[in-house]
Amino acid sequence: MFEFTGRLKTLSIVLILIGAVSVGLSFFAGSSSHSDDGHAEHTEHAAHGEEHGHGEDNHHGGHVPDADEYSYHKTASRAIPENNHKYQGEGHHDEEHAHHQMENKPWANLLVNNFFFLAISLGALFFLAVQYAAQAGWTVVILRVLEAMSQFLWLPMLILLLIVLAGVGHFGGNHIWHWMAEGIMDPESANYDSIIAGKQAYLNGPFFIIRTLVYFIGWVGAAMLLRKLSKKNDMTGVDYAKNWVKTRNLSAGFLVFFAVTSSTSAWDFIMSIDTHWFSTLFGWYVFAGMFVSALTVLMLIVLYLKSKGYLEQVNKSHIQDMAKFMFAFSIFWTYLWFSQYMLIWYSNIPEEVTYYMIRFREYKGLFITMLAMNFLFPVLVLMSRDSKRNFGFILVAGITMIIGHWLDVYIMIYPGSVGVNWSIGLINIGTFLGFAGLFIFVVFRSLAKAPLMPENHPMYIESKYHHI
């Protein structure tokens, strides 16, 4: 049995306190800074950002396009004044949007870190279900780690539900999802946006909350049921074959549910921030980042447990196979990133390129750094067989990939919610550490509640003697 030591508990609690203070400071700083006229003036050139499809001239001058610009942007209906509330009451909307961007900073910080750790837990649940549905043998000795990671899922889902409710109710200055703005879908309102109004059947407050609850119940319910069935195998007098069939059927059903909700949740929580823009690849792209992050954290936890004398049954063949997954899905993530970017860049359609314009213009350094950390680093470090068995190489690659995929989530959320008013400082780092502390506390507490080895699993012996 794993022992959740007092030292590890203390570390996790200290990190949680750091995170709580950081979140509190972010909201305090946000509430004080957005009332500062100087900040509104500083961000005036960024009003409405890429959310409303501005070109370079709009970004710096905020002028209404002339006839030639209309011709070039003839396929981008938001460039036409009557379809875009940006051009109706220009000064008022610039000031209002800049004000909202400043108010969004603490919410964006919270959403980035919450979604990142939610994705890690959800990715672990997905991988766990795949092992049962595919009747995989080699992973049996790490199943309890995956189960423990999935038990964290309820916490970020609860926080996410609160963020959604705050957005729908316009509580605490939460304007992250622009389509929730008052009057945005009302033709009689000065805030009316015909493009966003056309998405009202899907993007509306009640349906958004319902979908969030469906994700909550489906994901968290599956995680808890799989954990319950797994722990049941540790008991005596249980029909192990029947329990195995139940577990496999539940996993298969969850994978069908996950196939749909992994994409729709990415549309809801991230893609709808940039409401005018959409990509058919986006759900897959978010899934790839989610899965790589989960695999990386799984590897780091396994290495930590082995360093403490646990998981003796996990050998270098298991480590190599997990590193293969890290490497392979880093390549898969890059393939999806390139596919989405290249097609949008090549076609150069104004309605699509706006997404990347602000990211290259205002986030270029982060953008390129993120790509290097998530693609070049895994390729260079984890390419060979020996490096996949070297704990030092894996540790360095893992930490780099965690930072890289956190930056990926940051770049997906911040441009559409805070525009040019971004920063990465102690508050962001502290919030990340706080969520890391919560994750450590919940996961390792869960690990301590059941034997690390599911010895009654039908393929335990196969996994114990796994060799490649």
Evaluate whether residue 220 is within a structural domain.
yes
- Residue 315: domain span: 6-30+98-169+196-464
User: How far apart, in Å, are the Cα atoms of 111 and each of 138, 168, 414, 432, 446?
Assistant: 35, 15, 10, 11, 25
Evaluate whether residue 377 is within a structural domain.
yes
- 27-52 confidence digits (pLDDT tens): 888 666 555 544 444 444 444 444 44
Read off the tokens for 43. 């961000």
Amino acid 420: pLDDT: 86
Evaluate whether residue 108 is within a structural domain.
yes
Amino acid 179: pLDDT: 93
Amino acid 191: pLDDT: 87
Domains in the chain: how many in total?
A: 1
The structure's pTM equals 0.86
Q: What is the percent of the chain where pLDDT is above 90? A: 68
Helix axes 240-269, 90-133, angle to 10 degrees: 160
User: How far, in whole angstroms, is CA 95 from its chain's centroid?
Assistant: 30
Instruction: Return the amino acid letter for 68.
Output: D
Amino acid 264: pLDDT: 96
Amino acid 351: pLDDT: 85
Evaluate whether residue 306 is within a structural domain.
yes
Evaluate whether residue 189 is within a structural domain.
no
Tokens 């610039």 belong to 94
**Direct distance between the N- and C-terminal alpha carbons of the chain, in angstroms, rounded to an integer:** 28
Evaluate whether residue 322 is within a structural domain.
yes
Evaluate whether residue 409 is within a structural domain.
yes
Among 28-32, 214-218, 423-427, the range scoring the smallest mean pLDDT is 28-32
Evaluate whether residue 38 is within a structural domain.
no
